[in-house]
Amino acid sequence: MQVLDTSAFIHEYHTDDEQVSIPLVKEELEGGNEYRFDAMEGAGMELHLPADETVDRVRRAAGETGDAEELSETDTRLLATAFELDATLVTDDYAMQNVAEKLDIDVQVIAREGIEEERDWKFQCAGCGREFDEDRERCPICGSDLSRKNPA
């Protein structure tokens, strides 16, 4: 079973596996590619609404990897759907791939290369330079903005 992200419809991804998506994907496709969503739904693609508890679990995992700010509501719910259904997530989104790795969700990439390693991002203060493991609105020491930084 494969859970299809918006990029699967944009790149006209084909598979013989059972397909699942969420209604929010159709909203992202407005203006050109929603016809593919409708056609695939008519051909048997299932729609799934993940449980709130699973969505919260995905948000926690995204917070742990530092990808929470990068994920849209659609991304979060697609990850939750793949987690609940023990399905493969079809996406090119690197932040989604990173969180999927954290949650042991299989990923199929479409037009890009997949991630090579899971990353737990660090956050660095623009003012005092201190680093933090978790993203915050502002630095608790000096009040400056934090930016995401590659931990390597």
**Pair (99, 146) in one structural domain:** no
Q: Show the tokens assigned to 40.
A: 């695939």
For residue 35, the domain's CATH number is 3.40.50.1010
Report whether pLDDT(114) > 70.
no
Q: What is the pLDDT of residue 112?
A: 59
Q: Is 83 exposed, middle or buried (0-12, 13-18, 19+ CB in 10 A)?
A: buried
- For 80, the domain range is 2-108
What is the pLDDT confidence band of residue 141, given thresholds at 50, 70 and 90? confident
CB 135 within 8 A of CB 98: no
For residue 139, the domain's CATH number is 2.20.28
Q: What are phi and psi of 108, to 5 degrees?
A: -115, 120
**Pair (125, 86) in one structural domain:** no
Report whether pLDDT(150) > 70.
no
| Cβ contacts of 99-107, under 8 Å, gap ≥ 24 | 99/58, 99/61, 99/62, 99/65, 99/67, 99/71, 102/61, 102/64, 102/65, 103/57, 103/58, 103/61, 103/79, 105/79
**Pair (97, 134) in one structural domain:** no
**Pair (70, 136) in one structural domain:** no
State the average pLDDT over residues 70-80: 95
What is the pLDDT confidence band of residue 56, given thresholds at 50, 70 and 90? very high
Q: Give the separation between CA 97 and CA 103, rounded to whole angstroms.
A: 10
- Count how many domains the chain has: 2
**Pair (94, 131) in one structural domain:** no
- The whole-model pTM stands at 0.72
Report whether pLDDT(106) > 90.
yes
What is the pLDDT confidence band of residue 149, given thresholds at 50, 70 and 90? confident
**Pair (74, 98) in one structural domain:** yes
